[in-house]
């Protein structure tokens, strides 16, 4: 599989006027990152898709076990991901209010090692 490359801000990467592409393990890592950043009901053509941040994650009080379960399921249900090897999440409170997810996963193209995704709360 080949996909269009995205940078850490999810913008298309253009080099010398040409869209850069990613394939194999890099594409799967990018797909996981995109799925984690995609909010539930965000896309009008499929309102049943996405991560339920407002519905189940950004709640008070936070249910960390539920949040971890949702994010792990989202990673494991990504096409090409076979096994979740490591998972951790860190909530940065204060002015930044970020949820940072780190994971390593076995894919059908090899291992994605220590990938990080930052979600702004």
42: CATH: 3.10.450.40
Residue range 1-53, pLDDT digits in tens: 677 888 877 778 888 888 888 788 888 988 899 899 988 988 888 888 899 98
* DSSP β-bridge partners for residue 51: 39
- Taking each helix axis from N to C end, the angle separating 24-37 and 64-76, rounded to the nearest 10 degrees, works out to 140
Its domain, for residue 33, covers: 2-120
As a whole number of angstroms, the distance between CA 52 and CA 48 comes to 10
Task: Give pLDDT, residue 87.
Answer: 97
**C-beta separation of 45 from 7 below 8 A:** no
Task: Give the separation between CA 73 and CA 9, rounded to whole angstroms.
Answer: 23
Total of domains in the chain: 1
Mean pLDDT, to the nearest integer, of 41-66? 86
Mean pLDDT value across residues 91-112: 86
Closest CA to 100 of 62, 71, 80: 71
Q: Give the integer Cα–Cα distance in Å for 77 and 80.
A: 9
Q: What is the reported pLDDT for 103?
A: 96
Residue-wise pLDDT for 104-120, tens only, equals 999 999 999 989 998 88
| Inter-residue contact 32 to 75 (CB < 8 Å) | yes
Write down the pLDDT at residue 64: 86
Query: What is the CA angle 91-94-99, rounded to 5?
Result: 20
8 A C-beta contact, residue 23 and residue 44: no
As a whole number, mean pLDDT of residues 97-105 equals 91
Report, as an integer, the average pLDDT of 75-95.
Answer: 90
**What confidence category does residue 93 fall into, taking pLDDT thresholds of 50, 70 and 90?**
low
């Amino acid at each position: 599989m080949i996909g269009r490359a995205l940078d850490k801000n999810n913008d298309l990467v253009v080099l010398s006027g040409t869209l850069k592409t990613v394939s194999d393990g890099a594409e799967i890592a990018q797909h996981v990152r995109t799925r984690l950043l995609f909010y539930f009901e965000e896309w009008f053509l499929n309102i049943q898709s996405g991560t339920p941040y407002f519905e189940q994650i950004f709640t008070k009080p936070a249910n960390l076990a539920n949040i971890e379960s949702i994010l792990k399921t989202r990673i494991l249900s990504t096409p090409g991901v076979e096994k979740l090897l490591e998972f951790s999440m860190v909530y940065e409170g204060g002015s930044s209010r970020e949820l940072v997810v780190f994971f390593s996963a076995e894919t059908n193209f090899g291992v994605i090692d220590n990938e990080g995704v930052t979600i702004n709360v």
